Amino acid sequence: MTTTRRELAARYDPAAVEPAIYERWQAAGAFRPAPEPPPGAPRFVIIQPPPNVTGALHIGHALTATIEDTLVRYHRMRGDDTLWLPGVDHASIAAQFVLDRIIAEEGESRASLGRERYLERMWKFIEETRDVIGRQHRRLGASPDWDRERFTMDEGSARAVRVAFKRLWDAGHVYRGEALVNWCPRCLTTISDLENVHRDETGTIWTIRYHLERPDGTPDPDAWISVATTRPETLLGDTAVAVHPDDERYRGLVGRHAILPFLARRLPILADEAVDRAFGTGAVKITPAHDQDDYALAKRHGLPAITVLDEQARVNEAGGEFAGLDRFDARRRIVERLRASGDLEDERPHEMVVGRCDRCGTVSEPRLSVQWFIRVKPLAERALASVTEGRTTILPARFDKEYAHWMENIHDWAVSRQLWWGHRIPAWFCPDGHVTVSDLPAGPEACAECGRPASELTQETDIFDTWFSSGLWPFSTLGWPDETPDMQRFYPTTVMETGYDILFFWVARMMMLGLFCTDREPFDTVYLHGMIRADGGAKMGKTKGNTIDPLSVVDEIGADALRFALVSGSSSGHDQKLTRAKLDGGRNFSTKLWNAARFVLANRPADEPDADPGSDGAVDASLPVRWLRSRLADAVARATRQLDALDLGAYAATVYDVAWSDYCDWFLEVAKVDMRRADASPAERAATWRAAAEGLAVVLRLLHPLMPFVTEELWQALGEAEPELTRDEPLLITAGWPAPGERDETAETAFADLAELIRGVRNLRTEAGTPAATWAALVVDAPDGEAADALRAGLRYVEALARARPIRIGGAGDRPELVAASPFGAAWLGIDAAGQVDAAARRATRLADIEGNLERLRRLLADPGFSGRAPAAIVARERDRLAELEERRRQMLAEG
RNA sequence: GGGCGGUUAGCUCAGCUGGUCAGAGCGCCUCGCUUACACCGAGGAGGUCGGGGGUUCGAACCCCUCACCGCCCACCA
């Protein structure tokens, strides 16, 4: 009667297993750091990009969560003081974008609701969506400490924002002023340079005649200066025409004036080196209020800036007859009018770069307005030094350059946004125009400059760029600005993990703000992963319909399969394609593990003694057992190294190989032999089973970080069958990382030799077309006693796995025709069907192969350049190979 | 206009500081006794590591160059 307490289902059903497992983890408080830091334990704190509060899980989140969870689980198993603090980001512009669409369906708009009601509506909306993304992360198996979940709009964050901004202000890093900023006419807010995405587009370039002014102030119908533009509507705001100082064509015109069409404004013609003589006509219309270059040029020349577009990019009252028109309608109208008057000289398609709002895709408009800026140069210098001086490491290292380039060319950060959902800038204006920045929740008590009471002050209505609060995340979540126990225990953090696409948006800001606020680098390592792409290599996108929904995948094949597929075959910073085939690979692997465990559990000997037969010396460990332990020791060492190096792709390969190839394909197959052979003692049988079960336990430990559900479930089953095996911990999630083991080179070599012989025989069988069921006689030369002994020790495995019987070692007598070289000497296979193979031809091929290699090696070794300059170890190795080949050749010749 | 990455078996990708590095998974071909697993097992075919040049005793790996593909940064109207 078997003592197995639980029968595993014939097929792994993740849907039936995962939710229950997750609940057990949570009930056990497995995600929480210990109340006190374990003495002497290294710290491991991971920083995750908090997903948008209104968001739904996409494949990118799944990748991020998988990587982070794998690292966190690994470090937790190692006993490190581990923290993963979850949270969500208020994502002001993205959230407003979503809510605006929703209220539009209700017939409302931001304007119709007004700020207060809109924000109430937003909080209500957030309440509905806030938990969604967390629940979805749970389904992936993510194991952050949910008790510490934070939100970038909670009071802790709000306080951190106020304090950080106040300190920046006090340090002189903040200013408020008029500047030409990127403006989205649809979102009705400033957007930062990063949110203004440039795209190559084909537009039109028009050449327009500006007639020259005659002495009487009227335009000269016969004299003009032609300017080229891609945005004719901006001409309404022109205040000059510029040419290059050395441009002969225009030398005589500099100092004169042109008359602006429609508005009859006098435009000075001036010279400036910034003008490219080769482009267009060599003369540029200058629109300071609507173009960055022109703005800079106007400043140099003291030109006025006239804003002609309103916040929705309609022509304003300064636009004369065009007032009220949308910018593109105005463009068409102006072009028509110019064409009619004969002042449109040319019109042609033009390849150009257009800036669009990252959020909504609307063409952005440079707009002159008063904004809050953070002077980032000094902050950036420190943030750059942290990386160049090695206090923070970016992986992969090549992103160092991008980071440095960005930090070196950084512009001041426009942090104010004309949005409602977010942290309001804690600045107050007094009627005299004084500005008071305060970090008090209720605002300042009086104007900092003139002492006017708070009742006379009004707060700035702009809010902060979302990334300002995100930039404080690593410490605002730990209680900063207070020196809390959490700050002391968990800050600075260890690994900042995210996609390379937000290196500048987020990582750079965290570095700058972290250094400024806390005087320390916010994390030791920045680990950047790549993007997930669709099968053809295209970006995944809802509109393209080529997305893979991680939750559907989890429903279908389980979180473990998805996680494995996301990590295996990946390398940091490189994009990867995710395909159905890859997901299937993950699923197959979880099934494989399940079945291996099923085999182990179902074969537990009924009569296993209570005492541990492996440790009391009753039975010496068999060769396969020693081999398995050595292979596992190697895998543990490699996996540990790879996870420490954040090389998750390599780690996945390591565990996959040891589990599938070493454990399942080889060990379990030979274990069957030892567990089933009639002449084995109960103790021997038990020892073999025990080794299999222990080996499985190590495999489960190794795999748990990446495939937590199936490994945990099997761990439970293993524990129920044999509590001894999981004695140290009832839950795998909190069990220890496998201890490093000893390599056993002798066992590895011996077993590898047997495996090679088995493979050689299998090969012969296939070539000969031997039916799988047929037993074939085998003769192995085994020229020396040592080889014969080694072979004899493993004979039963060869017999079973190569289906060879009887096996004769050495000795004279008839020898079958088919021969293969093996570590033990030549191996002859006798089978009835041998005639199907041309033994002689086969032998000739093998011999030629050996001869070829021999020739190459002899030449190499004869080369004085090689033997003289190559390291001795390399030379010795090549000598050994030569000797080995010579031996094989001798075997081959001997048999003929 | 700068900068970066990629180009390795039909496909998707690993290959660390040059010396069993020519690999894995999928796909393909052949076979399938065997109660862990056909989401499987055994065996096999398939690549002059994008082209050219160089350094070296030796290069997929280092240098130069060219060709494609992709990405990032950038104020040419």
pLDDT in tens, A676-685: 888 888 888 8
From the C1' of B41, which residue's alpha carbon is nearest? A665
The ipTM (two decimal places) reads 0.95
* Crossing angle of the two packed helices A785-793 and A745-768, in degrees rounded to 10: 80
Question: What positions of strand B are covered by protein, i.e. any atom < 7 Å from a CB?
Answer: 3-6, 12-15, 19, 24-27, 30-33, 36-37, 39-44, 56-58, 69-77
The residue written with tokens 């408009």 in the block is A365
pLDDT of the residue at A613? 46
Is the preceding omega at residue A396 within 30 degrees of 0, hence cis? yes
Cα–Cα distance list, A838 to A551, A757, A828, A832, A834 (Å): 56, 21, 14, 13, 8
Which two three-digit tokens encode residue A330?
A: 């105005």
CA A588 to C1' B40, whole Å: 10
Q: Strand A532-533 relative to strand A576-577: parallel, antiparallel, unpaired?
A: parallel
Give A351's strand partners: A202
**DSSP H helical ranges for A723-829:** 745-768, 785-793, 795-802
CA A9 to C1' B35, whole Å: 15
Which two three-digit tokens encode residue A202?
A: 């084909």
pLDDT of the residue at A304? 94
CA A343 to C1' B39, whole Å: 73
Which two three-digit tokens encode residue A455?
A: 């009742």
CA A881 to C1' B20, whole Å: 9
pLDDT of the residue at A386? 95
- Residue stretches of chain A with pLDDT short of 50: 1-4, 610-617, 833-836
Cβ-count burial of A213 within 10 angstroms (0-12 exposed, 13-18 middle, 19+ buried)?
Answer: buried
Closest nt by CA–C1' to A350: B77
On whether the CB atoms of residues A422 and A464 are closer than 8 A, the answer is yes
CA A759 to C1' B44, whole Å: 13
Which two three-digit tokens encode residue A324?
A: 């009220």
CA angle A25, A603, A695 (to 5 degrees): 55
Classify each residue of A793-819 as buried b or exposed e, where b means 16 or more C-beta atoms within 10 Å of its C-beta.
ebbbbbbbbbbbeebebbeeeeebbbb
Closest nt by CA–C1' to A410: B73
On whether the CB atoms of residues A463 and A416 are closer than 8 A, the answer is yes
Local structure of A579: helix, strand or coil: coil
Classify each residue of A672-687 as buried b or exposed e, where b means 16 or more C-beta atoms within 10 Å of its C-beta.
bbbbeeeebeebbbbb
Closest nt by CA–C1' to A666: B41
From the C1' of B24, which residue's alpha carbon is nearest? A653
Cα separation, A779 vs A773, whole angstroms: 19
Closest nt by CA–C1' to A588: B39
Q: How many CA atoms lie within 13 A of A408 on its CB side?
A: 9
> Could you tell me which of A482, A481, A439, A430 has the C-alpha nearest to residue A459?
A430
Determine the residue type at A21: I
pLDDT of the residue at A834? 45
From the C1' of B6, which residue's alpha carbon is nearest? A574
* Crossing angle of the two packed helices A682-703 and A623-644, in degrees rounded to 10: 10
Which DSSP letter does residue A419 get?
Answer: -
On whether the CB atoms of residues A83 and A73 are closer than 8 A, the answer is no
A33-78 pLDDT per residue, tens: 999 999 999 999 999 999 999 999 999 999 999 999 999 999 999 9
* Crossing angle of the two packed helices A377-388 and A399-408, in degrees rounded to 10: 160
Q: Is the dihedral of CA A530, A533, A539, A543 positive or negative?
A: negative
On whether the CB atoms of residues A269 and A227 are closer than 8 A, the answer is no
On whether the CB atoms of residues A187 and A97 are closer than 8 A, the answer is yes
Compute φ and ψ for A347, nearest 5 degrees.
Answer: -150, 120
> Could you tell me which of A195, A613, A250 has the C-alpha nearest to residue A415?
A195
| Model pTM above 0.90 | yes
Which two three-digit tokens encode residue A262?
A: 């429609």
CA A8 to C1' B12, whole Å: 33
Is the preceding omega at residue A37 within 30 degrees of 0, hence cis? no
Local structure of A151: helix, strand or coil: strand
From the C1' of B38, which residue's alpha carbon is nearest? A588
CA A504 to C1' B71, whole Å: 15
The continuous run of DSSP H or E covering A221 comes out as strand A219-229
On whether the CB atoms of residues A593 and A703 are closer than 8 A, the answer is yes
Q: Strand A150-151 relative to strand A87-88: parallel, antiparallel, unpaired?
A: parallel
Closest nt by CA–C1' to A282: B77
Local structure of A287: helix, strand or coil: coil
Closest nt by CA–C1' to A285: B77
Which DSSP letter does residue A153 get?
Answer: T
Q: Residue length, chain A?
A: 896
Please write down the HEC assignment for all residues of A14-71.
HHHHHHHHHHHHHHCCCCCCCCCCCCCCCEEEEECCCCECCCCCCHHHHHHHHHHHHH
Q: Strand A43-47 relative to strand A493-499: parallel, antiparallel, unpaired?
A: parallel
The continuous run of DSSP H or E covering A866 comes out as helix A864-869
Which two three-digit tokens encode residue A149?
A: 């979940």
Please write down the HEC assignment for all residues of A351-418.
EEEEEEECCCCCECEEEEEEEEEECCHHHHHHHHHHHHCCCCEEECCCHHHHHHHHHHCCCCEECEEC
pLDDT of the residue at A839? 61
Which two three-digit tokens encode residue A325?
A: 């028109």
Other Cβ atoms closer than 10 A to A547: 16
Determine the residue type at A538: A
Contacts of A521 (CB under 8 A, 6+ apart): A386, A391, A392, A492, A511, A514, A515
Is the preceding omega at residue A39 within 30 degrees of 0, hence cis? no
Closest nt by CA–C1' to A767: B43
pLDDT of the residue at A835? 47
From the C1' of B42, which residue's alpha carbon is nearest? A762
Which two three-digit tokens encode residue A61?
A: 């989140």
Q: In what order do the strands lie in the sheet with A413-414?
A: A189-191, A174-184, A365-374, A413-414
Q: Strand A81-84 relative to strand A87-88: parallel, antiparallel, unpaired?
A: unpaired
Cα separation, A152 vs A53, whole angstroms: 9
pLDDT of the residue at A876? 80
Closest nt by CA–C1' to A396: B5
Local structure of A736: helix, strand or coil: coil
Contacts of A738 (CB under 8 A, 6+ apart): A632, A636, A698, A701, A702
Across chain A, which distance is largest between two alpha carbons, in Å?
Answer: 125
CA A90 to C1' B17, whole Å: 45
Which two three-digit tokens encode residue A518?
A: 């806390």
On whether the CB atoms of residues A789 and A753 are closer than 8 A, the answer is no
CA A157 to chain centre: 26
From the C1' of B36, which residue's alpha carbon is nearest? A599
